[in-house]
Amino acid sequence: MAKLIAGNWKMFKGPTETLAFFDAFESPENVEVVICPPFVSLEAAVAEEWPVFAQNVHWAEEGAFTGEISARMLVELGVQGSLVGHSERRLYFGETDETVRQRAEAALGAGLGVIACVGETEAEREAGETEAVLRRQVAVLPRHEALVIAYEPVWAIGTGRTATPELAQEAHALIKSLHETRVLYGGSVKPENAAELLSQPAVDGALVGGASLDAASFSSLCRIAASLS
């Protein structure tokens, strides 16, 4: 099966920058690529006819939820899926395991794909709680063919630190024993370390942050993934 590479742009790139990115981006065959732009850039990205996921989705179909976007709205726009439970959503916006479950179920129920993020903090890893945290976070996720899990050790998000291939393999193997789905690695993935991470047998792809913002860097990373598929 082809590797899945998802680029999470976080709060970068408005519509103009999005179009410029796609003008420069070259993706090889034999790799599945998903782009996750900010809400304001979804329409521009969809127009480029690439698989596009939102960065978040609400569990209600509509209602008094200022600042939120429903799955039905994303479907109408032509978006194919959404991230849920990213560590930054958990850290800064009070996301919980329960709200992650609700968001995932709403998106899947509307026909969207889901990339659900799980992972331990540095304090949890140092306390030997990694397995317990992953078991708790994975347990709430629905079983669905359109759901993918992204393992992102929180201590590696945006820090330049990366889990060793052995640590990534261990965590992915645990997740796969709990949930039969593809599992992506997320945490400072870049062309320089992609090959050794993606070559691990339980690593089915990557959720890429900063390295997905530059078209040349992301193209390079996708070529590496294609060579390992």
pTM for the full predicted model: 0.96
Q: How many domains does the chain have?
A: 1
Provide CB contacts within 8 A for 61, sequence distance 6+: 70, 71, 72, 106
For residue 150, list its beta bridge partners.
117, 184
From the number of C-beta atoms within 10 Å of its C-beta (0-12, 13-18, 19+), residue 50 rates as: middle
Q: What is the pLDDT of residues 179-209, one digit of tens each?
A: 999 999 998 899 999 999 999 999 999 999 9
Residue from 58, 86, 172, 179 carrying the catalytic annotation: 86
Q: At what angle do helices 130-139 and 97-109 cross, to 10 degrees?
A: 40
Instruction: Identify residue 166 by its one-letter amino acid code.
Output: E
Is 124 a residue of the active site? Answer: no
Residue from 32, 152, 172, 179 carrying the catalytic annotation: 152
Domain containing 107 equals: 3-228
Q: What is the pLDDT of residues 36-62, one digit of tens each?
A: 999 999 999 999 988 999 999 999 999
| Pair of tokens at residue 206 | 């990557």
Is 172 a residue of the active site? Answer: no
- CB burial readout 57-75, b (16+ within 10 A) else e: bbbeeeeeeeeebbbbbbe
Question: For residue 102, what is the domain's CATH number?
Answer: 3.20.20.70
